């Protein structure tokens, strides 16, 4: 399969792009229809060991095919049925959040050719993930996948609000066939922290006027608090949520609201692309009284927290859905993990609002 199409990243010009697209579509027929529930060809290790290795810290690697153990439970967003775990889009776009590693964005983009993105969508949907978070620049790949595999994969698009053409990204997402939309977390933090929440109202009102569910994204809890205080008429929230029991988390005494949207600090005790929910206890306590669906993202702190730990923390402390960036080789293990976590949840501190 890899020999049929090379990465399309170096092709330039309309004719070259048209030619590469024709070759990609032709090659889609070569993607195998994987029977995920009986059998999977991925390794049974949560993404740590490379193919061919014999042992990891958690035990033997590559023990054979992974069996997906069941269907992911679903929740509701209005009239939509959505799998409790959603496929994130940062990895396919090369937004790696790799602390001080400088090559990972390029590595992720190189790995994720259009062919590989389509394979990942295919594996995710077969494993029971029915919704993907999306950005407008990758909708053409999702449309291609949906068309060629008669797919029902839903999308929730994170939208930006450019000053020079405020509704352009929203309109692009709608024209691309999105299922729901929300204001990107960084965008929401920026507008609210600078006293421009009126812009958020404008965007949310426009989304709802077009007949779509409208959500608000945030890294800072202060953004959500402001939206609730001002009674922003959103249908759901998209809020970062992870604990801080991992090596690269910086001391709580040096955590500052909205630092996530500020330049990285050279001080190792301050923010440097290493935390996305600075005060998780406060987040859980405040969200407990929010009676709207909550999509938690960055639940693994961009790969610093093992899936079983991060998934359980998010669900037991109130999240209705989790969004997880996954490589193709992580999907089966993560599906099994989320199924096990949901089947053995302790007492939640928050009702399900989906």
- Region 295-319: what's the mean pLDDT? 98
- Region 172-201: what's the mean pLDDT? 98
- DSSP for 87-146, please give it: E-SHHHHT----TT-SSHHHHHHHH--HHHHHHHHHHHHHTT--EEEE-GGGHHHHHHHH
Q: Are 328 and 335 in contact (CB under 8 A)?
A: no
Q: What kind of architecture, by CATH, is found in domain 74-343?
A: Alpha-Beta Barrel (3.20)
Cα–Cα separations (whole angstroms), residue 350 to 73, 158, 345, 347: 18, 25, 12, 9
- Region 157-185: what's the mean pLDDT? 97
Q: Are 90 and 96 in contact (CB under 8 A)?
A: yes
Q: Which residues of 115-127 are buried (b: 16+ CB within 10 A; e: fewer)?
A: bbbbbbbbbbbbb
| Lowest-confidence segment of 36-50, 153-167, 223-237, 314-328 by average pLDDT | 36-50
CB-side neighbour CA atoms (13 Å) of 251? 5
| Lowest-confidence segment of 36-45, 195-204, 245-254 by average pLDDT | 36-45
Distance of CA 97 to the CA centre of its chain: 13
User: Whole-angstrom Cα distance, residue 310 to residue 81?
Assistant: 23
- Region 145-169: what's the mean pLDDT? 97
pLDDT of residue 349: 82
Distance of CA 261 to the CA centre of its chain: 18
The rounded percent of the chain whose pLDDT value lies above 70 is 82
Q: How confident is the model at residue 67 (pLDDT cuts 50, 70, 90)?
A: confident
- Joined together, the tokens standing for residue 250 give 């910086």
Q: Is the dihedral of CA 252, 48, 91, 268 positive or negative?
A: positive
User: Whole-angstrom Cα distance, residue 218 to residue 239?
Assistant: 5
pLDDT of residue 54: 35
Measured between its terminal Cα atoms, the distance across the chain in Å is: 40
The more confident residue out of 194 and 23 is 194
Q: How confident is the model at residue 66 (pLDDT cuts 50, 70, 90)?
A: confident
- The dihedrals phi and psi of 223, each to the nearest 5 degrees, come to -65, -45
Q: How confident is the model at residue 30 (pLDDT cuts 50, 70, 90)?
A: low
- Region 57-67: what's the mean pLDDT? 54
Bridge partner residues of 230 (DSSP):
none
- Region 85-103: what's the mean pLDDT? 93
Mean of pLDDT over the chain: 87
Q: Domain coordinates of the chain in residue numbers?
A: 74-343
Which secondary-structure segment (H or E) carries 323?
strand 321-324
């Amino acid at each position: 399969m890899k020999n049929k199409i090379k990465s399309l990243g170096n092709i330039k010009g309309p004719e070259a792009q048209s030619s590469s697209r024709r070759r990609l579509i032709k090659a889609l027929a070569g993607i195998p229809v994987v029977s995920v529930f009986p059998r999977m060809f991925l390794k049974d290790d949560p993404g740590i060991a490379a193919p061919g290795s014999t042992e990891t810290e958690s035990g033997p690697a590559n023990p054979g095919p992974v069996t997906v153990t069941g269907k992911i439970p679903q929740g509701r967003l209005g009239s939509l049925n959505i799998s409790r775990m959603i496929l994130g889009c940062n990895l396919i776009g090369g937004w790696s959040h790799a602390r001080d590693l400088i090559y990972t964005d390029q590595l992720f983009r190189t790995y994720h050719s259009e062919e590989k993105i389509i394979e990942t969508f295919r594996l995710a949907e077969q494993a029971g993930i029915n919704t993907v978070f999306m950005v407008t620049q990758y909708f053409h790949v999702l449309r291609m996948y949906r068309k060629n595999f008669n797919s029902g994969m839903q999308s929730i698009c994170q939208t930006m609000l450019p000053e020079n053409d405020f509704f352009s990204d929203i309109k692009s997402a709608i024209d691309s066939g999105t299922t729901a939309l929300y204001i990107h977390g960084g965008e929401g933090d920026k507008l609210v922290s600078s006293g421009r929440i009126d812009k958020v109202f404008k965007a949310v009102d426009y989304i709802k006027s077009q007949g779509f569910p409208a959500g608000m994204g945030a890294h800072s809890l202060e953004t959500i608090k402001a939206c609730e205080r001002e009674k922003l008429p959103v249908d759901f929230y998209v809020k970062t949520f992870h604990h801080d029991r991992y090596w690269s988390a910086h001391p709580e005494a040096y955590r500052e609201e909205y630092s996530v949207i500020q330049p990285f600090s050279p001080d190792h005790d301050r923010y440097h692309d290493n935390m996305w929910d600075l005060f998780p206890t406060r987040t859980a306590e405040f969200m407990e009284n929010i009676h709207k669906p909550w999509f938690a993202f960055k639940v693994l702190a961009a790969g610093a927290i093992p899936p079983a730990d991060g998934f359980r923390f998010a669900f037991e402390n109130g999240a209705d859905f989790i969004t997880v960036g996954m490589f193709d080789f992580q999907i089966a293990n993560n599906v099994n993990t989320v199924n096990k976590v949901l089947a053995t949840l302790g007492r939640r501190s928050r009702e399900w609002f989906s």
